């Protein structure tokens, strides 16, 4: 858990390059962003976060894939809000899924995480 925190804090502070990259590669390059450098940095950071998260919590990647897209459809496009909201909404969805699984199968255990 301690290995995740510095990367998450750093990633949340990098909202400007993320917002520029959301405009597209051509537009980001025209606005002065080194797309190749930032893309590689974000790939390494994402790989680190995914690796540590899966090692700690198990393979429940559907939450990490679905929640950010649902929030974008709801209108959250600024990464200053989207990144923390994705973490909170993902935790909430996983908690609700766990409660539903426990209530639906009270005599058996359905492994959520």
Residue-range domain boundaries for the chain = 1-57, 60-113
Burial grade of 82 (CB within 10 A; 0-12, 13-18, 19 or more): buried
Burial grade of 110 (CB within 10 A; 0-12, 13-18, 19 or more): exposed
- pTM summary value: 0.61
Burial grade of 86 (CB within 10 A; 0-12, 13-18, 19 or more): buried
- Rounded average pLDDT per 10-residue block, the chain, 113 residues: 88 92 94 95 91 77 81 90 91 86 76 61
């Amino acid at each position: 858990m301690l290995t995740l925190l510095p990367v998450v804090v750093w990633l949340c502070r990098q909202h400007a390059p993320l917002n520029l990259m959301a405009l597209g590669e051509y537009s980001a390059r025209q606005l002065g962003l080194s797309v190749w450098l930032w893309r590689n940095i974000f790939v390494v950071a994402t790989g680190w976060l995914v690796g540590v998260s899966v090692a700690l919590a198990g393979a429940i990647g559907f939450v990490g894939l679905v929640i950010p897209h649902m929030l974008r459809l709801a209108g959250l496009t600024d990464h200053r809000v989207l990144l923390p909201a994705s973490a909170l909404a993902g935790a909430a969805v996983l908690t609700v899924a766990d409660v539903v699984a426990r209530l639906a199968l009270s005599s058996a255990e359905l492994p959520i995480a």
